[in-house]
Amino acid sequence: MHSREELLACVVARLIGEAKHVAVGAASPIPATGALLLQQKNPSLKVSFLHRRKGNPFTEGSRELFDLAGQGRIDVFFLGGAQIDGEGSINLVRAEGKRFPGSFGSAFMYSVVKKTVLFREEHSKRVLVPKVEFVSARGTPGALLTGKALFSWQGSRFRLESTHEAGDIRGETGFDYDAPAKTPLTPVPTAEDLALLRSSVAQRIAPDYPDFARRVWGIN
């Protein structure tokens, strides 16, 4: 059996695809796991974690990450949102009277990185809304991955591509989207992927995401 986190990491690896350089920002253990999984199979993939505690890839902090991205040297980046809407806009500032941490670098990254993958584990009408209350960032998403489903972007609307298990996605999504007549299930991790995730990938994730590694793989 696999965990939900492992399945999501495998989807992340597929979404990164042919990229040369993927960067991972704040508090993103699943995108980080997916990027490292893909790197195990494609060692020429460059993976830069902004928050690496030791051996950080940047010698000028996040300023260097943003300068790299501004030049077009980052192929894939991940953004989340307290709210994500059907137009692909994200909100990291405030919703329903609640304050969230803030926009981080999203307003910049969304428009300069070649492929931005929107990622949020929670899949609910609270998160996936018709219109965000505050636009932290607007852009063209490469895909939207949640804890329940994967959507592609069709120019002006999302399209449901697969669900991770059978369920009422329409009933749990606040925005309208296109869908095939019959939605396939998301492919589950292969035995090879699981073996890599639980050995070399887990060991490399643990120093930067100790709580996550403890929860998913029992590493202390």
Partner 1 sequence: MAARAEQLAALVPDGAFLALPPDYSMPSMAVVRELILQKRKNLRLLGVPVLGMCADLLIGAGCVAEVESSAVSLGEAGLAPRFTEAVEKGEIKMRDATCPAVHTALQASEKGVPFMPLRGVLGSDLVKQRTDWQVLQNPFSGGDDPILYIRAISPDIALFHARWADEAGNVWVGRRRELATVAHAAKRTLVTYEELKPGDMLEDELLAPGVISAAYITAVAPAKRGAWPLGIAGVYDIDDAHLAQYAKAARTREGFQRYLEEFVCTAAKSYSPASSPA
Closer by beta carbon to partner 1, 36 or else 82: 82
x/- binding map, residues 52-81, to partner 1, per CB under 8 A?
-xx-x-xxxxxxx-xx--x-----------
Told to check if 119 binds partner 1 by CB under 8 A, we report no
In the complex, least distance from residue 83 CB atom to partner 1, rounded to whole angstroms: 12
**Binding region for partner 1 (CB under 8 A) out of 11-19, 47-55, 154-162, 184-192:** 47-55
**Binding region for partner 1 (CB under 8 A) out of 1-9, 15-23, 133-141, 163-171:** 133-141
Told to check if 105 binds partner 1 by CB under 8 A, we report yes
Residue type, 214: R
Facing residues of 166 across strands? none
What is the Cα Rg of the chain in Å?
17
x/- binding map, residues 9-28, to partner 1, per CB under 8 A?
-----------------xx-
In the complex, least distance from residue 38 CB atom to partner 1, rounded to whole angstroms: 23
What residue ranges bind partner 1 (CB under 8 A)?
26-27, 51, 53-54, 56, 58-64, 66-67, 70, 92-93, 97-112, 134-139, 209-212
